[in-house]
Amino acid sequence: MRILIVDDEVIIRTGLCTVIDWKELGLTLLEPAESAEEALERIPQEKPHIVLTDIRMSGMDGIVLAQEIKKLLPDTEIVILTGYDEFAYAQQALRQGVADYLLKTSGPEEIIKAALKARQTIMDKWELLRNEQARTAAFRHQLLERVFEGRTGNDTDPVLVQSWLGERRKIALPADGTCPMRVILVQAAGWGEGHLADLLNGAADNMLSELLPSLSLVKGERITLVVRVDSANEGTGELERAVRRVGQTLKCTVFAAAGCIVARPQELHRSFREAESIYSYRLLLGESGVYALGDITSRSGGRTVCSQEEEKELSGILVSNNPAQLRQWVNRIVREQMDDGAVTPNSLQAYLQSVVFAGHRWLERAKGDGRASAPPATAYPFDTDPRPEAELFRILSSLMSAFHDTISDSRYTYMQRAIAYIRDRLDQHLTLQDVARFVHLTPNHFSEVFKKETGQSYIEFVTMERMRKAADVLSSTQMKIGEVAGAVGYEDIKYFSQQFKKYYGKTPSEFRQSPGS
């Protein structure tokens, strides 16, 4: 807070500047002025909050100076210095907006009290102004939220929105009450998270409010703007220039989704819904730029289910317990989906969740106890930062750890990995040598340890696992018998049926038809 001393007597001027430690009082002492005329020249630039001035000076006196200051800076607090014979004159000054007066014979403590009183008055005004601004902002935010939700239950809300937009350009509203406008959803990013993200949001909002005739609502990670549209500029050119300016000035990325243009505030909910639909594509369209409905209408949706080949790749990575390979694989399949020009947020989310379900199926097979189950569809939204590949990697990595942590205490950990490897490849021609190579053992040693651990030979174990899987497929699907045979590694249907009957005492068809299958 700044204070200016005005006095034509050098002794008084110097004494007031040196006797009191203004900095300790929370005040910045400006260079003192030798006359009222000098003070008036400097005040528009230096904008003092408090002026301490003599009442009697050569040229313009203190009362006239106070009147002129009030015209320039109405909130400035003015304290007059007076002599005994000027007491009545000083009282007149109080009626002219002067905050206080002091006798020239006053000691430093009296001057300090007057200065602190003036400082407190200014701080009280600032606090009242902040509270009023906060109440106005809260009211405006509540009104805009009602408008966006289509809940304009009275005639006052639309009128207020129109008048506020009119104030932004100081343009009178048309006689018919129409006011072309649209909703813009903006996300600024690049400064980090938490407090830094809030700072960026605030800075971007301030800049956009200066560059565009708009009202704004900052909530969470995004800024919602209601922008007045001139008939001569109904495209997004002005918005694009504003977004580019914000990005260049603040060194950040700015994504903007522009809803349709509407004529009245009562229709803003349509523009808001359209902007939200476009905004949901921000990870697919890019981190920066201005986008409208035409940028997403051609997207019909990408793949929603991961392929059998992708599920096999995932199983092999999970059983090998290789986080680096898992991250590379996740990054690749996610990038392939996001580069697909047809993909939508819904299709991307469905695809990513199908990969998660594939990971849970692997865990269930790898454990071999049937206890694992797929999560509910709403568990992984994949629609917020960090980008979806980070969230997908986190989930799949936790599944991989869940399995390998359970076997880490086992004396023969590699045997558990071998069993998981076998269960993932029951549809393939998988030899003992293949599995031994996977766990880095010689076939003979692997065969001995395998029988010791499982109580079965390699062939007996693989056959048992294939029959169990076949029974599960027969019970839970309507796949043809030939398809079931192929799913568990048998090309000869007749041989498969013989093996199945030997194991369950029924042919595959009889098993499917039997109660409780």
User: For the segment 175-209, what is each residue's pLDDT rounded down to a tens digit?
Assistant: 555 678 899 999 999 898 888 888 998 899 999 98
Q: Which amino acid is at 94?
A: L
* Range ranked top by mean pLDDT from 241-245, 263-267, 370-374, 474-478: 241-245
The pLDDT, as a whole number, for residue 130 is 80
For 34, list phi and psi in degrees, rounded to 5.
-90, -10
Instruction: Look at residue 383 and give its three-state secondary structure.
Output: coil
What is the b/e burial string over 143-166, where b = at least 16 CB atoms within 10 angstroms of the residue's CB? bbeebbeeebeeeebbebbbebbb
By percentage, how much of the chain surpasses pLDDT 90? 31
DSSP 262: B
What is the b/e burial string over 343-353, where b = at least 16 CB atoms within 10 angstroms of the residue's CB? bbbebbbbbbb
Helix (H) or strand (E) holding 29: strand 28-29
The pLDDT, as a whole number, for residue 171 is 45
The pLDDT, as a whole number, for residue 336 is 92
- Mean pLDDT (the chain) is 83
pLDDT reading at 173 higher than 70: no
- Give mean pLDDT, residues 485-495: 90
Encode pLDDT of 80-128 as tens digits.
Answer: 887 756 666 666 666 666 777 787 778 888 889 989 999 999 998 888 8
CA 97 – CA 70 distance, rounded (Å): 8
- Give mean pLDDT, residues 115-144: 80
- Give mean pLDDT, residues 433-439: 87
* Total Cβ atoms within 10 A of residue 498: 13
Instruction: Look at residue 305 and give its three-state secondary structure.
Output: coil
Domains in the chain (CATH in brackets) are: 2-124 (3.40.50.2300), 155-295 (3.30.70.270), 301-399 (no CATH), 410-517 (1.10.10.60)
pTM of structure: 0.59
Q: Would you say 375 and 369 are in contact if contact means Cβ atoms under 8 Å apart? A: no
Residue 386: pLDDT band (50, 70, 90) is low
CA 479 – CA 485 distance, rounded (Å): 10
Dihedral, CA of residue 62, residue 65, residue 67 and residue 73, to nearest 10: -130
The pLDDT, as a whole number, for residue 332 is 94
The residue with greater pLDDT, 12 or 403, is 12
The sheet carrying 289-291 orders its strands as 214-219, 222-228, 181-189, 253-258, 289-291
233-240, Cβ contacts within 8 angstroms, sequence gap of 24 or more: 234/180, 234/261, 236/290, 236/292, 238/212, 239/184, 239/212, 239/290, 240/290
CA 474 – CA 487 distance, rounded (Å): 11
* Total Cβ atoms within 10 A of residue 312: 16
For 3, list phi and psi in degrees, rounded to 5.
-125, 140
Torsion-angle region of residue 264: left (phi > 0), alpha (psi -120 to 50) or beta? Answer: beta
Both structure tokens of 169:
């350009």
Torsion 416-422-425-431 (CA) sign: positive
Both structure tokens of 291:
């986008």
- Give mean pLDDT, residues 205-218: 86
Instruction: Look at residue 506 and give its three-state secondary structure.
Output: coil
Cα 454 to chain centroid distance, Å, stands at: 52
CA 307 – CA 16 distance, rounded (Å): 84
Q: Would you say 50 and 115 are in contact if contact means Cβ atoms under 8 Å apart? A: yes
Q: Which amino acid is at 412?
A: Y
Residue 378: pLDDT band (50, 70, 90) is very low
CA 27 – CA 452 distance, rounded (Å): 86
Is residue 420 exposed (0-12), middle (13-18) or buried (19+ Cβ within 10 Å)? buried
For residue 512, the number of C-alpha atoms closer than 13 Å in the C-beta half-sphere is: 14
Instruction: Look at residue 189 and give its three-state secondary structure.
Output: strand
Strands 100-103 and 77-82: parallel
